[in-house]
Structures are given as C-alpha cells and as structure tokens.
Structure 1
C-alpha cells in the first residue's frame, strides 16, 4: 500500500487529534491554558511516538522536545502550540468540520501541522535521526525559545517547519525579517482648556513621529514600517503627558533591517520639551531563498514520486521560527503544515481533503532526507 493511501486511512485519526488540540485553547499569554495544552501535546506525542518528551524550561515557559533514536539528529521538525486566540474564543469560533472545511481557533496556525508531523513520524515507525521540537511562545516572538530553536537546529541537515502552507498549498521558501519596537513620547501635562500652552502635547509629537516612521517604508525593497497599537493621554481635558505606539517592521534582507533600525534610533522630537524613548529591535533575521532552494527541489521530487501535486515555492511577509533555523545556517523549508487559510482571522480554516497528502509529503521528505547525506 502506497504512502498516500496509508495516510488517507489515517484521516479519522488526524481529525480526532486536531479536534483534541483545537478544543484545548492555548493563548500565548495565558500560562495556565498553555500548561494544559503542553500536557496535551506531550500526551498526544507519547501516544504516537511511544516516548515522553523532554520538557525544556526556559524562563517562565516549558517547551517539548523529542529526540528520536540514539544518534545525532539529521532532521528537525519544528512547530508551536501557542495561538493568538484569547481564552474563550471557542464560544464564538467553535471547532467544526463542514463541507470539507475544518474550523477553529489555531487550527491552521498551527495545531493541524503538529498533528500531521506526529502521524508522519508514526507512519515511518518513528525513525531515528529526527528531532521534533514544539515551542510555546512563537506567537510572542519566541522570547524564551529562540536559543533552544537555534541550538537544536545547529548541525542538522534540514529544518522542516510545520507552519501552514502558503496560498494553494505552496511551501514557504522565503520569509521577511521582523523587527518590533515601542516608541514612547514624554511630554508635559497641562489643563487643556485653561492653559494648554503650558503643556507639551505628547499626542501631537506622536503624530509627527508616526509620519516619520511610515516614511521609512520602501515598497521597492519590500520593506514595511507599520505603526500598529497606539495610546495617549490620561483624560479628555488634559494635554497628554505621554503617548506610545508599537511599530512592526518587515524586511527582505539584513541590510534593510539595519537601515531601518538605525533610522528609528536617530528619530528626534519635533516639539520643544518633548522626549522620545525607543525600545525593542530586530526580532527575527530574514530567511532568504537560498536557505530553502535545495530542499524545495527535493520536496518537488518527493511529491512527484508520491503522485501528489508538485508544490510551488512562495515568499511571504510573516516570520516564523524558520527564520532562526535559517539564521544559524541550517537548510530550512517552511509551510509544510496544513493547507487552508485565514491564520489569526475569523475565517481561519483547514482543507480536510489536503490533510492526507500533506502528511504523506512530510513523511516522504523525512525518509528521503534520512536516506541520503544532505539536501
């Protein structure tokens, strides 16, 4: 029986496992919910892999790692179980499967991807030479797990990232680098009606700075500088003494990441008496196309051999932990998880019919990598 057929027979189990994970909510900022989800992922992994994971504590987080076999790891499977969805989201976005579409908070980003990896490994009879790492803070920027990801990836022949596929099932071969900042403005409070001239209006200063920030965007180079969450003031009749804005930066190359960082650090206040305070910086290095080129060719060959649609490669703006594995020199292929869409959005979904083929592709790629000396 061929691999795709065997995976098709696993579909009921795939769906049951995905339901179990999705209905155990795991918002990245809720430690109690994450603890429950961590235990569930560990138990699910033990069922499929026959072994409990190593629980790696980093800061206030616990991450799960399975090292399969006694020898060194050649292939790293990388995923996360935290989501952006707040606790209680199941009430408004319940788990459901209708007309071939699976829905639920975190289903495509990326609980279905974890389930696909577990079934792929089980179908291969848990091959030695593979490490599965599941982290719990990716949606926060991986503040505690970055070092673990980099250390685990170092020396591997390949890192296969279980994030959702790009449009049409494409594999993610290039990711932008990510920088995150918070710009605070310190002004001076005064009564807005009696003597506003005695104050230094932090909201007005922030407006000047937001315009300066957006001017750093360079569409021709793929650079976006986006002010996101903002807040200012303490009451409706007071000149604001403080204001702040979060800034999201995406870049295609390290030179652009450095240029934008330097520009942000050189911002100066416009209003006399105002003061600026910048925190944050580069969070993820860019994942350039050469990091995935050889693995994409291999995935195309494996897919063709299995009779699956040949996957395309896609460059995407979002970051993942694949940025880190590529950053330490490990060949990295991303987007091997579920086919669907709507990550972080109300229409988040997984295409059920694509699950067996995706699991077969993961399993076939792992087997192919273990059979040879490199990508």
Structure 2
C-alpha cells in the first residue's frame, strides 16, 4: 500500500467530515449568497488542510470563484484540477442522509465529492512529503451547471499554462469508471416570422410561423446520426397568440451533441443556414458551439492507462467510459490540453433524488488523484 493511500485510509472519518460540511452548504447556481457561503467553507477547508495560496475571483451575477495554488514549482506546464461548487438543487429540495456507507444529498456526487477528494489529495501530498516540480492549480468555479458563462475565460487562461487537466467530476456510476470521452454541446435559438391573418376569413392569405417551425423541426431531426453520436433535440417551442389567428411568430430552442470536433463545422452550417418550406415565412437561427467534445485521443488513453496502473496497485480495476453530458473539461480538451474527466468518487444518481457517494471509497479516489498529480508534477 502506498504511503498516500495509507494516510488517506487512516483519515477517512475526517474526509467524510469535509464532505458533510460542503454538502450541507447548499449552493444552487442562481443563488449567489449561498454559493458564496459554500465558497467560504471551501476556502476554510483548503486553508485548514493544505495551506497554499488562495485567490478569490469576485463575481457579480454568480458566486465568487477560487484559484487555489499548491507548491512552488514551475507555473509553465502547471497541473490544473477543475471543479465547481454550484449544484442543480434548490435549497431544501433534497434531504441529506446517511445510510450505511452511502451519503445522499444535493450535489454530493456532482460535485461536492470531487471537491472533497481534491482537498484531501493535496493534503496527502503535503503530509507524505511528496516532492513536486510543478505548481498545482485547483480552480473552483460557481456556474458550471448553468453554462460556465462567467468562468470559461479563466478556465481557458489557466488551461493554456497547463500540461494536463484533471476533472474530479462525478464518475460513471455505479462502478466508478473515469470519463475518457464527453460529447460536445451546441445551443441554438430558431426564430420564425410569418404573416398573420384571420384563420377563417383570410385562411389562405397568411403564412403560419408555427407550420414553418413544424417543417423545420422534422428537417432538423434528419441531422441526428446515432452511429456517429450526433443528437439533435428541440427542447422548447413557442409561438402564436390565439387559435383563430395565423401565427406570426414562433420560436424553438435546439440542443445539439457531437462526439468529434470534425463534426462541428458541418452541423453548425446545416443549422444556421436553413431552407424555407412555406412562402412568406422567414427563418433566423442564432447560436454556436458551446463546448467542443472531449475526445479519446492518444494523450487521454495514456492518462487512463496510468490511472489504471495506480488503481491496480491499490487493489482494484479502473474502467473507462463515455458521457453524453459536457463539463468544463470540454473547454480544456477543446484547445488541445490532455484532459481526463470523471475522477470523482464512487457514487451514482447525479441530478436525481438518488444522488449519493460511497464514503468507504473516498480514500481510494483521493489517492488515485493524488498519485496521478504527483506523477505529472514531476515529469
């Protein structure tokens, strides 16, 4: 057993205490005051456990963000760990409860558990005297669950100085596989303008925006390709004013997921430049790619194989998998920085009432992260 894993197993009760404290600090994305309070607690835990430097990044519309720096090594080629403290849960929507080794609660798996194992990974590196030749940056944002609009810039800035990125987001439950692939995401808004009129008196004189939108939806769905991993979802539609009025306006929100960066240009072009099916209507589409996919490149495979080797030395098999959802790791992967995701603890049920973490597994996942950080911090 490695010194790092031994240390963490001996401190599992304290690791659990950190996770309880962060989970109890409920932090819905849209409630800045609560996210800021969670950030204060995270900062307190970092200073108590690790004691490195802290930079608070003030935000007006969302919670403040934090850049924690550990070590005095080179900044160029630094090791970047990315996490977020905001959750999808309104206050009181989900009870916090422990059943045996399982802890249930809002954001416990996505991703208070990942924040906890990162804090303790750094703590273990410190307490075991690990020598690091590169700086470790632990960047914690506050708006990942609502699109990372207020954090994308700093994520990319830190990624450009980094040699590798580790993302302790929720693992793939229930076996804890890490994520070597994530789909990219793009969002679009379609606006259709028609010609209004009386549905009885002028039935043939108008041009229905709703009918045009219906044609558009059916045509958009043809862009989906299951074999290539391209999905197109029209999640919101709106339009018209009354049943007896030919609709002048209609709108649709479109979500597109892709698996390869090479797919982006083709599908974006197809969505932005639409044919018109009904004379007298006009179609405008706004939007762009939000996150490029995290692809299973050779560099990602190498990261996975090294993680698998660490896990094997700890006595278990570590699997890999893909996710249809996106994370902040998509940003870093999208600019070519080797990135691996899903390094959070064993658990399941992200964004569901069954969201939970296996407390007995916390030392193992924290040790996994600590040892891969140590390896890359000395390359």
TM-score, normalised to structure 2's length?
0.89
Q: Residues 220 and 232 of structure 2 are in contact (CA less than 8 Å); yes or no, is this contact kept in structure 1?
A: yes
Would the alpha carbon gap of residues 58 and 262 (structure 1) be closer, same or farther in structure 2, given more than 3 Å must change? farther
Higher mean displacement: 151-160 or 218-227: 151-160
Please give the secondary structure, in 2, of the residue aligned with 1:269.
coil
Consecutive unaligned residues in structure 2, runs of 5 or more: none
- Other-structure match for 1:248: 255
CA distance in 2, matches of 1:270, 1:145: 40
Cα shift at 1:64:
0.8
- Other-structure match for 2:29: 28
- Other-structure match for 2:322: 315
Which of 185, 197, 213 in structure 1 is aligned with 2:220?
213
1:305 and 2:313 aligned: yes
Which of 274, 278, 282 in structure 1 is aligned with 2:285?
278
Which of 165, 186, 191 in structure 2 is aligned with 1:184?
191
Higher mean displacement: 116-125 or 358-367: 358-367
Would the alpha carbon gap of residues 202 and 59 (structure 1) be closer, same or farther in structure 2, given more than 3 Å must change? farther
Please give the secondary structure, in 2, of the residue aligned with 1:229.
strand
Which of 327, 333, 355 in structure 2 is aligned with 1:348?
355
CA distance in 1, matches of 2:292, 2:248: 35
1:75 and 2:71 aligned: no
Would the alpha carbon gap of residues 183 and 304 (structure 1) be closer, same or farther in structure 2, given more than 3 Å must change? same
Would the alpha carbon gap of residues 220 and 32 (structure 1) be closer, same or farther in structure 2, given more than 3 Å must change? same
Which of 239, 246, 257 in structure 1 is aligned with 2:264?
257
CA distance in 1, matches of 2:200, 2:363: 66
CA distance in 2, matches of 1:274, 1:21: 52
Please give the secondary structure, in 2, of the residue aligned with 1:244.
strand
Cα deviation digits, residues 74-120 of structure 1 (max 9, x gap): 311111111222x23x2x41111113322112111111100110011
- Other-structure match for 1:130: 136
CA distance in 1, matches of 2:355, 2:199: 45
CA distance in 2, matches of 1:19, 1:235: 52
- Other-structure match for 1:50: 51
CA distance in 1, matches of 2:249, 2:216: 13
Consecutive unaligned residues in structure 1, runs of 5 or more: none
CA distance in 1, matches of 2:33, 2:247: 37
Would the alpha carbon gap of residues 12 and 261 (structure 1) be closer, same or farther in structure 2, given more than 3 Å must change? same
Which of 88, 108, 118 in structure 2 is aligned with 1:84?
88
Cα shift at 1:58:
6.1
CA distance in 2, matches of 1:226, 1:199: 29
Cα shift at 1:267:
0.9
> For this pair of structures, how many residues does the alignment match?
368
Cα deviation digits, residues 16-44 of structure 1 (max 9, x gap): 22222222222223333333333232222
- Other-structure match for 1:15: 16
Q: Residues 164 and 339 of structure 2 are in contact (CA less than 8 Å); yes or no, is this contact kept in structure 1?
A: yes
Cα shift at 1:242:
2.5
Cα shift at 1:164:
0.9
Would the alpha carbon gap of residues 203 and 299 (structure 1) be closer, same or farther in structure 2, given more than 3 Å must change? same
Cα shift at 1:198:
5.0
Higher mean displacement: 111-120 or 356-365: 356-365
Please give the secondary structure, in 2, of the residue aligned with 1:64.
strand
CA distance in 2, matches of 1:193, 1:37: 58
